[in-house]
Structure 1
């Protein structure tokens, strides 16, 4: 499984490598204003970010089977990071996807394509049954991603994740393997995503 990678057009995802730490650190440093409103934080206080340590921790989670950390690329250039985390096997067989993309790559289809590729990999390669994405109500670009891909809206989770220094409300979206027998990417690119399944109810 060390060759975990997938691509569509100029967008690709691959398993993170130790040598990615420098590029990722630079992207995070130059995108502070862009990313900080959506970044997970520690409720016990700020922790200095060292991507070398973070990458080592992510790869250990991968070896333990609890997560799969990907780098997102556009045309071979590092564009951001996508993590499949909280993998549960057995009767749950589920995982959660989280991601960030650099501002200079926003609007190029990197995020929806990467999420589609990763979800298909979760179902086909990792043999999971369900994939979830949780998004802050204020994060309009990410809400558009799940709407494009047809992730089903599953409900509201108040004070769910500590983001940007406080406990933040989230909307939950999910897909099961039965929802996309042809795959997420193929369903999206062929225009077969059901209308409205990923929309947040107006109430």
Structure 2
């Protein structure tokens, strides 16, 4: 693993929230299992319409949380994925993952996230996304971050709106979500577009 990848992940990022709380982004670990399962159980109906699914003939997904973490950590060591947990006031609250990292002439990645419903509405996700994008631009050396969102996902759309990330396109039948190929709106930002940093822009 090169020095750039070593600095980029694992990492711990933290910032205050508008209500006086704190959001922390740190490496997802196998110890998050019980809290991860509880968050997914508690918010199952809320998250289900936006969950990625395996299309017919696709590779099987990990069947346990431990297997999921092992797969994500292998990808992190290879420098293709950075899997992070989101904490709010020290409690596990969700997940944010930098996916599909491409180096070479692209220096590109995509970003996905979910939040436990009980922590929604406090600004945790916009702040977590801002922290991770700033980290990707300043520490990981990436140039462009893309976020793809289903047109019906109003909560996720509000995140990119708050951050001022521009819509750049529309992808029909882009990802297999909730059992079918779903259209997505595509948002992206480059390092040149936010010289002051995303967190500063959000504030």
TM-score by length of 2: 0.89
Answer yes or no: is the 8 Å Cα contact 2:14–2:23 preserved in 1.
yes
Shift of 1:156: 0.5
Distance in 2 (CA, whole Å) between partners of 1:40 and 1:58 is 15
Q: Distance in 1 between matches of 2:75 and 2:33?
A: 16
Partner in structure 2 of residue 199 of structure 1: none
CA displacement 1:4-32 (0-9 Å, x = unmatched): 11111101101112211222122112221
Equivalent-residue separation in structure 1 for 2:112 and 2:84 (angstroms): 10
Give the counterpart of 1:39 among 48, 51, 66: 51
Give the equivalent residue in structure 2 for 1:27: 39
The structural deviation recorded for 1:49 is 4.2
Distance 1:124 1:186 in 2: 14
Instruction: Select the structure with the greater relative contact order (CA < 8 A; seq sep ≥ 6).
Output: 2
CA RMSD of aligned residues (A): 1.4
CA contact (8 A) 2:131 2:199 kept: yes
Q: Are 2:199 and 1:185 equivalent residues in the alignment?
A: yes
- Aligned pairs (5 A) from 1:1-203: 1=7, 2-9=9-16, 10-44=22-56, 49-189=63-203
- 1:23-50 per-position Cα deviation (integer Å, ceiling 9, x unaligned): 2122112221111100000012785742
Matches of 1:172 and 1:62, distance apart in 2:
24
Retained in 2: the 8 A contact 1:69–1:83?
A: yes
CA, structure 1 residues 47+86, in 2 after alignment: closer, same or farther (shift >3 Å)?
A: closer
- Structure 1 regions of 5+ residues with no counterpart? 190-203
The 1-side partners of 2:13 and 2:111 are apart by 16
When normalised by structure 1's length, the TM-score is 0.89
Aligned length: 189
8 Å CA contact retained: 1:25, 1:50: no
**How many Å separate the matches in 2 of 1:118 and 1:3?**
12
> Quick one: distance in 2 between partners of 1:73 and 1:47?
25
